Structure 1
Amino acid sequence: MLLSAESITKTYGTRVLLDRVSFYLEPGERVGVIGVNGAGKSTLLRILAGAEEPETGCVTRFPNVRLEYLPQNPEFAPGTTVLEQVLLGLSTDARALAEYEAKTILTRLGITRFEQRVEELSGGQRKRVALAAALARPCDVLILDEPTNHLDSEMVTWLEEWLQRFAGGLVMITHDRYFLERVTNRMAEVDGGKLYFYEGSYEDFLRRKAEREESARASERKRQSILRREYQWVMQGPTARGTKSRERLERYEALKNQSGPTERAGLELSSVASRLGKKTVELRGVSKSFEGRQVLRDFDCMLLRDDRIGIVGVNGSGKSTLLNLIAGRLSPDQGEVIVGETVKIGYFSQENPPMDGETRVIDYVKEIGERIETVDGVITASQLLEQFLFPADVQWSPIDKLSGGEKRRLFLLSILASAPNILLLDEPTNDLDIETLTILEDYLETFPGAVVAVSHDRYFLDKVARRIFVVEGDGRVTPYAGGYTDYLAALAERRRAEKKAEKPAPKKEESRPSAPKKLKFSYKEQREYETIDADIAALEEQLADNQAQQSACGSDYVALQRLQEEQSQLESALEEKMERWVYLNDLAERIAAQ
């Protein structure tokens, strides 16, 4: 046993998030924690990690168990560099052992400026630095709150493989369903203050949850049947109540006072959209650059009235820029964006707009409209909130009382209720629970307008997209037909064809059995192994010198552009060296083990 929590209770205002729940973690267990936003998932993880105290119960970490925790909103020591933050708190000996691992993980997560101060990073970069800090330190228990947020698809795949190799115990919250399916072997659902456990992967959870709910409904049907029979017995004839069996009356009262299973309303918003004419949005010869870096080059695109486009690419390649150009938030350097007269765009951005924390939830929706027109008729703001999993008691609470995920859901509600006919979704799966995501996907299937979504969530893209646009980062945008899995298959086929075209025809040789060769360094690899540490250090010094020169440039934009190009080349070279360092050290260990 690595970790245990016994009879944990936690309330937030009048809401009971955790009601005498218990949790146990064994070595090798990978537990995925799921539940609707605001159910108490992050609270459970904070309590397990020791970052928050329960009101009742206790958490026990067994002797010598080392734990690392990635919070949903990590905090950083002011003035520290990226590398210092990752290694913070480690002893001198431990830092020396962890430094190369830290640099390798940071590079994999797209962070290569190790001496940059953390306060200069974007929110997504800070989350990746915090993830690197959790992964780089030796530990027995990993507790991760939304580790896939702010990662591109390649990073998610790498993290998936890393966690599959992790030998300790893992507890994590994520709404990436493919990630859950491939990494976890046990699920824990937070629902109504209780914890429900399911052995197996996410697919096993779906099946067993359906079985549990059907069993609960069957028990409730039986209870109601017995209640009707007992009620008839209680009410029959003029015989005084006192002459009836006291025990049977007590059983009847107890049965009547039992509560049945809660049937939560689903998010079932009927299509809300303005009329869309024949003319939608067209991009003609659009180009866009930032500080000399080409993000889009001569890009043409015509949105069809019922288009479903998924946009993918590495972080920083220009995915959000493309959305902002379509939305009119950015102007192209060249070309034009033509928008039809009937177009009404709804933009679900990565960041929530400012929300007055003192405003009540229902008043926030009433600002859009007291009554909202749908294809099934008119519904009130309160009914709409009910459909979005905001019960009556929450509707009259101030927005400040909502969790981060609930605020995200409220923002989504405001976008859909405003009746757009073109939806732009920038990372819509970040911070939304699986239940909301599932119904959003179903909603988008019947949405009468066009949908363009930037997402790293492979499941979401497979469910929604009919076309994939890959923003390559050098100005090119490559289209693929189908969802994300179709794109991967087409990409793999293209790479196989390119490799086959480059490969020379093999020479025919007489086959003969040969003894297995012992692993050894080639002369070139041996030399490289001996000098690679110095090469990495030299590149890091050059990067630091480059950044110092940029700081001193002031308004000399010509010099600044040259230095930024040089920085990009140095970062690429450093990433390549770090990859090579990992390979050579792994080879050295295998040679030594022969």
Structure 2
Amino acid sequence: MRYSQPGGSVAVISVKDVVLRFGDEALFDGITLHIEEGDRLCLLGRNGTGKSTLLKLMAGLLEPDSGLVARSRDRVIGLLGQEIDEGFTGTCLEFCLSSEEVPDQGKEPGSPSGISSESEVESRRFLTQLGVNPEAEYRTLSGGGRRRAMTARILAKKPDILLLDEPTNHLDINSVLWLEEYLRKQVPTLILITHDRAFAKTVATRVAEIDRGQLFSFDCGYDEFLSRKQALLETEEQQRAKFDKRLAAEEAWLRRGVKARRTRDEGRVRALMAMRERYRLRRNRIGQVSMKAQEAEVSGDLVAELTAVSFAYSEQGSGETPVIENLSTTIMRGDRVGIVGPNGCGKTTLIQLILGKLKPDTGSIRLGTNLRPLYFDQMRSLINPEKTLLENLSGGDDSVVVGGRSRHINAYLQDFLFDPDRAKSPVNILSGGEQNRLMLAKLFTQPSNLLVLDEPTNDLDMETLDLLEDLLSEYQGTILLVSHDREFLDNIVTDCLVFTPDSTVEEYVGGYSDWRAQYKADDPGENAARTKEKKSPGDTRPRDRKTKRSYKEQQELASLPETIAALEQEIHQLHQVMADPEFYRREGDEVAQATARLETLQADLERRYDRWQFLEERGGD
């Protein structure tokens, strides 16, 4: 069904007066939100306020305790949730062609059989674009790989309404840029949860925020939302101050004694009782995260010196995979270094080499004196999900030493927005963002002069992200940072180490945007490609002004799926050959030729995909 709003416009999803409770307190206390065709809405709120739950309500996976959630029957909804699909067996392509389970869509669950060639081409394109091999077995992928396959699947279905919960997690920067552009140009109606501020600024045209059980909608982009939100909070504070002053005056009046028999006094007492109830039900905004890194004595001037470092992984059945080739660089005290590159290129490997967790195959790494490193890794290895928050932070004690002084564990938990009642709750019931906050809480109990952060922004709400950024900006030690968050990199780092396709690592001065500007200036091919891209039909022009395909182009479009399939088959066969350890014992020329052939095929495949998309967007006769 569709829900008509008072102004006459039609909403494709409507949430009206919805109440949902988990425990004693309402997660949603009568929230209302209408999504119209063409909206691109970014849903904000602190971790634990119910953003993911609201997406599930919209998709029909949950029902409210009261209120109405109405969805247009003639619109297909696609949901990318945070839960990883664990049970599928088959290739990533088969996974991508299978049906996700969103109820009330009027469609039977699908299977790979009987799938059109266009669906297969689309699925392959999205998987490849997100760094997933279509022929790889889904069950062999890491959690991040499965997440990327899930993203490819939901995009390939091309639903009318797309619900995305943290879609940039586990993507590298190039994939984030591609997804950003795709959503902006190709997805008609979108509801998005993201911690990536640059992503939100580019994609979203509306913002809604969940705060203390209420939902506030803003018909503006992210930047304007920030100023409007601040004004609302200031107004709320002023109104509450006036209310509190009036309540105190009425309480004082009551204490002086009241002749309750008088009708006028009876009414005033009833009004005071109502004010007391209103005050009791007030949900105060929880204070901000209070983070402070404990800094150790300064390190020596030199932090790390890498000289001609090379490293390759050698795994059974797959030969050697070069990761880093002949890297020489020096990191000095106070440097803030961003490490940038696609997924799987070796960013985490470089960190582990610098920290001494891995040894280089060739070359040398010299570390400076008096180093006190702290390492935030993506696997959250510092915290045990089976133990409680209390056990993780203090080993079960009621206090923790922070900055040389003892603090009660409840007070320290509140610094990171954890209710003291949750101190004895297991970590595995926390959301991803809450687990990252706990990881930061544990890290900052220890003094350091070198912070090594591997994707610390994943799942954090934007407010916590801003505060982490402030903390790192004031940190006096050295920072090594891996992140796909462009704005975070720009605001923190002063130098970038960038991985290239040939396993070399190049140095650039400045943040992410500075690197991109230098990279484009140094690469005429990049500039030419971008100039050509800007002139492509359909890039910036309205749809109704696109040129139609010629007969020759129609024939070319019809043949492209077969051509693409043949290229991918040859690439797959080459991968199998090169995965055999015996392959690398052959003559050097043969290995070089196979490697060059693989690079040529992959470049050709990318061109064919680009051509296919161009012809599709061009339109038929």
Q: TM-score, normalised by structure 1?
A: 0.87
Moved more, 86-95 or 53-62: 86-95
Q: Secondary structure at the match of 1:347?
A: strand
Q: What's the CA shift for 1:549?
A: 4.8
- Partner of 1:467 in structure 2? 495
Matching residue within 197, 211, 217 for 1:197: 217
Q: Deviations over 1:205-260 (max 9, x none)?
A: 21111111111111111112212332333334x66454461111111222233235
Looking at structure 2, the residues matched to 118 and 418 of structure 1 have their Cα atoms a distance apart, in angstroms, of 39
- Partner of 1:298 in structure 2? 326
- Partner of 1:507 in structure 2? none
Unaligned runs of 5+ in 1: 501-517
- Partner of 1:505 in structure 2? none
- Partner of 1:277 in structure 2? 299
Matching residue within 39, 44, 47 for 2:54: 44
Q: What's the CA shift for 1:572?
A: 5.6
- Partner of 1:541 in structure 2? 569
Aligned residue type for 1:282: E
Q: What's the CA shift for 1:439?
A: 0.7
**1:175 maps onto 2:203 in alignment:** no
Matching residue within 68, 74, 93 for 1:64: 74
**1:247 maps onto 2:247 in alignment:** no
Q: Secondary structure at the match of 2:523?
A: helix
Q: Is the Cα contact below 8 Å between 2:46 and 2:463 reproduced in 1?
A: yes
- Partner of 1:374 in structure 2? 403
Looking at structure 1, the residues matched to 592 and 431 of structure 2 have their Cα atoms a distance apart, in angstroms, of 40
Q: Within 5 A, what are the aligned runs for 1:115-130?
A: 115-130=135-150
Moved more, 270-279 or 480-489: 270-279
Calculate the aligned-residue CA RMSD, in Å. Answer: 3.2
Matching residue within 95, 103, 110 for 2:124: 103
Looking at structure 2, the residues matched to 565 and 366 of structure 1 have their Cα atoms a distance apart, in angstroms, of 57
Q: Secondary structure at the match of 2:332?
A: coil
Q: Deviations over 1:291-341 (max 9, x none)?
A: 433322232233222111111112222111111111211111112222334
Looking at structure 1, the residues matched to 620 and 197 of structure 2 have their Cα atoms a distance apart, in angstroms, of 40
Q: Deviations over 1:52-97 (max 9, x none)?
A: 3334444322122111111112315532211111111447676333
What percent identity do the matched residue pairs reach?
33
Q: Is the Cα contact below 8 Å between 2:571 and 2:602 reproduced in 1?
A: no
Q: Is the Cα contact below 8 Å between 1:550 and 1:560 reproduced in 2?
A: no
- Partner of 1:397 in structure 2? 425
Moved more, 210-219 or 77-86: 77-86
Q: 1:41 to 1:558 in 2, by over 3 A?
A: farther
Q: 1:526 to 1:434 in 2, by over 3 A?
A: closer
Looking at structure 1, the residues matched to 247 and 386 of structure 2 have their Cα atoms a distance apart, in angstroms, of 45
Aligned residue type for 2:334: D
Q: 1:159 to 1:252 in 2, by over 3 A?
A: same
Q: 1:228 to 1:382 in 2, by over 3 A?
A: closer
Looking at structure 2, the residues matched to 58 and 336 of structure 1 have their Cα atoms a distance apart, in angstroms, of 64
Q: Secondary structure at the match of 1:353?
A: coil
Looking at structure 2, the residues matched to 589 and 283 of structure 1 have their Cα atoms a distance apart, in angstroms, of 48
**1:217 maps onto 2:237 in alignment:** yes
Q: Is the Cα contact below 8 Å between 1:372 and 1:381 reproduced in 2?
A: no
Q: Is the Cα contact below 8 Å between 1:139 and 1:168 reproduced in 2?
A: no
Q: Secondary structure at the match of 1:400?
A: helix
Q: Secondary structure at the match of 1:280?
A: strand
- Partner of 2:509 in structure 1? 481
Q: Secondary structure at the match of 1:583?
A: helix
Q: Secondary structure at the match of 1:409?
A: helix
Aligned residue type for 1:265: G
Aligned length: 572
Q: Secondary structure at the match of 2:325?
A: strand
- Partner of 2:341 in structure 1? 313
Looking at structure 2, the residues matched to 426 and 246 of structure 1 have their Cα atoms a distance apart, in angstroms, of 64
Unaligned runs of 5+ in 2: 1-10, 100-109, 315-319, 529-546
Matching residue within 16, 25, 30 for 1:6: 16
Moved more, 47-56 or 33-42: 47-56
Q: Is the Cα contact below 8 Å between 2:564 and 2:608 reproduced in 1?
A: no
Looking at structure 1, the residues matched to 323 and 480 of structure 2 have their Cα atoms a distance apart, in angstroms, of 18
Q: 1:76 to 1:2 in 2, by over 3 A?
A: farther
**1:352 maps onto 2:360 in alignment:** no
Matching residue within 88, 97, 101 for 2:98: 88
- Partner of 1:515 in structure 2? none
Q: Is the Cα contact below 8 Å between 2:39 and 2:190 reproduced in 1?
A: yes
Aligned residue type for 1:266: Q
- Partner of 2:535 in structure 1? none
- Partner of 1:492 in structure 2? 520
Q: Is the Cα contact below 8 Å between 1:271 and 1:448 reproduced in 2?
A: no
- Partner of 1:424 in structure 2? 452
Looking at structure 2, the residues matched to 28 and 122 of structure 1 have their Cα atoms a distance apart, in angstroms, of 34
Looking at structure 2, the residues matched to 271 and 354 of structure 1 have their Cα atoms a distance apart, in angstroms, of 16
Looking at structure 2, the residues matched to 143 and 406 of structure 1 have their Cα atoms a distance apart, in angstroms, of 22
Q: Secondary structure at the match of 2:167?
A: coil
- Partner of 1:288 in structure 2? 311
Q: Secondary structure at the match of 2:269?
A: helix
Looking at structure 2, the residues matched to 109 and 130 of structure 1 have their Cα atoms a distance apart, in angstroms, of 10
Q: Is the Cα contact below 8 Å between 1:543 and 1:571 reproduced in 2?
A: no
Q: Is the Cα contact below 8 Å between 1:270 and 1:374 reproduced in 2?
A: no
Q: Within 5 A, what are the aligned runs for 1:495-574?
A: 495-496=523-524, 532-546=560-574, 549=577, 553=580, 558=585, 566=594, 569-570=597-598, 573-574=601-602
Q: What's the CA shift for 1:496?
A: 4.7
**1:385 maps onto 2:413 in alignment:** yes
Looking at structure 2, the residues matched to 128 and 327 of structure 1 have their Cα atoms a distance apart, in angstroms, of 29
Aligned residue type for 1:447: Y
Moved more, 569-578 or 536-545: 569-578
Q: Is the Cα contact below 8 Å between 2:390 and 2:396 reproduced in 1?
A: no
Moved over 6 A (4+): 497-500, 518-523, 525-530, 559-565
Q: What's the CA shift for 1:143?
A: 0.7
Q: Secondary structure at the match of 1:281?
A: strand
